[in-house]
Amino acid sequence: MLEIRVLLIDDEEEFASALAERLSLRGMRTSTCNRGEEGLKMIETDPPQVVILDMNMPGLSGMDVLARIRTDHPEIRVILLTGQSPREVEKAASGAGACDYLTKPVNIGELIVKIRSAVGL
């Protein structure tokens, strides 16, 4: 089975760690970080196939990080995460170039389907 490389960027450390562990148990190679700036550096050194990106973070927002990924690494697929209403997220996600979005709390089964779809599986 193909190992999918996933980078999870979310300022909620416990959430990011727990989600990364659940993705790893499902055969995905996951990395995490808690700041947009750090995520962009990680992408430069070890580009993932999919970035799971929180929209609301201190420093660079998720939307700022998404814009940089779209410019510098258009091949990377981005799935946005947020606690905002689905309508706001859907509009922001499609306009900014994210391939999909989920609202928190995240359903792991739904996230797995979206990740696999993002890489064409």
pLDDT more than 90, % of the chain: 67
Nearest alpha carbon to residue 7 among 29, 35, 37 = 29
pLDDT tens column, 19-37:
999 999 999 999 999 999 9
**What architecture (CATH level 2) is domain 5-105?**
3-Layer(aba) Sandwich (3.40)
C-alpha pair distances (Å), 5 with each of 30, 31, 34, 56, 91? 6, 8, 17, 23, 26
Is residue 48 within 8 A of residue 73, CB to CB? The reply is no
* Domain assignments of the chain as residue spans, ordered by start: 5-105
pLDDT tens column, 40-75:
999 999 999 999 999 889 999 898 999 999 999 999
Q: Which residues of 1-18 are buried (b: 16+ CB within 10 A; e: fewer)?
A: eeebbbbbbbbeeebbee
